[in-house]
């Protein structure tokens, strides 16, 4: 009799354990789904891909010895998009491009004469990108502006031998 009673107690505890485990798994699963959705929302806001970055966006480091810098020859004065106050605002400064000297296309496009010949096209890209921002937006989104300029320049040259854009602008 004691064995049967003990078996019944063990069976009852086993059933209670299964029920509590099921309840726990349901609550944990729903919480993990909500967490995964939150992470997906945040990554989409900051424009990251959950599966990893595409090959073109992977930042390959170029050593300083393999870096050449081309600076736009003159100081640029760029009219910015008009804000609500109706006043004209400008960005005044210099732009430099970082080029990978080990890249195959550097020999074709990277020398000073080739870059000087294409400086008008480069200025046009810089003016069009920065001119789409108001003064406040330009001050707050400098990395986004650099990325936009870089991608348009890489499309222009149909190459990624230019891997970085840097600028120093004063806004008024």
Q: Please report the pLDDT score of residue 35 as a whole number.
A: 86
Q: Please report the pLDDT score of residue 125 as a whole number.
A: 93
Q: Which two tokens mark 148?
A: 């936009």
Separation in Å, CA 143 to CA 62, 65, 67, 137, 140 = 19, 24, 20, 11, 9
| pLDDT tens-place string over residues 130-147 | 999 988 888 888 899 999
Contact 111, 99 (CB under 8 A): no
Contact 99, 68 (CB under 8 A): yes
Q: Please report the pLDDT score of residue 60 as a whole number.
A: 59
The domain limits of the chain are: 1-52, 60-171
| pLDDT tens-place string over residues 44-60 | 777 655 555 444 444 45
What is the value of pTM for the model shown? 0.62
Helix, strand and coil in the chain, % to nearest 5: 55, 15, 30
Q: Which two tokens mark 132?
A: 């789409």
| Domain range 60-171, CATH architecture | 2-Layer Sandwich (3.30)
Q: Please report the pLDDT score of residue 49 as a whole number.
A: 53
Q: Please report the pLDDT score of residue 130 as a whole number.
A: 92
Per-residue pLDDT of the chain (172 residues; tens, 9 = 90+): 677 889 999 999 999 999 999 999 988 888 888 888 888 788 777 765 555 544 444 445 788 888 889 999 889 999 998 888 788 889 999 999 999 998 888 888 888 888 888 999 999 999 999 999 988 888 888 899 999 999 999 999 888 889 999 998 888 8
């Amino acid at each position: 009799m004691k064995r049967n009673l003990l078996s019944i107690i063990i069976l009852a505890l086993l059933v209670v354990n299964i029920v509590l485990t099921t309840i726990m798994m349901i609550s944990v699963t729903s919480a993990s789904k909500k967490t995964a959705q939150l992470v997906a929302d945040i990554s989409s806001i900051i424009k990251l891909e959950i599966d990893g970055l595409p090959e073109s966006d992977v930042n390959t480091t170029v050593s300083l010895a393999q870096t050449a810098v081309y600076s736009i020859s003159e100081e640029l004065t760029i009219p910015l998009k008009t804000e609500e106050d109706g006043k004209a605002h400008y960005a005044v400064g210099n732009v430099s491009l970082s080029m990978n000297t080990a890249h195959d296309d550097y020999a074709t496009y990277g020398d000073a004469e080739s870059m000087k010949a294409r400086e008008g096209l480069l200025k046009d890209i810089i003016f069009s990108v920065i001119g789409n921002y108001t003064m406040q937006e330009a001050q707050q989104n400098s990395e986004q502006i650099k990325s936009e300029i870089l991608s348009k320049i890489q499309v222009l040259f149909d190459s990624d031998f230019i891997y970085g854009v840097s600028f120093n602008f004063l806004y008024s």
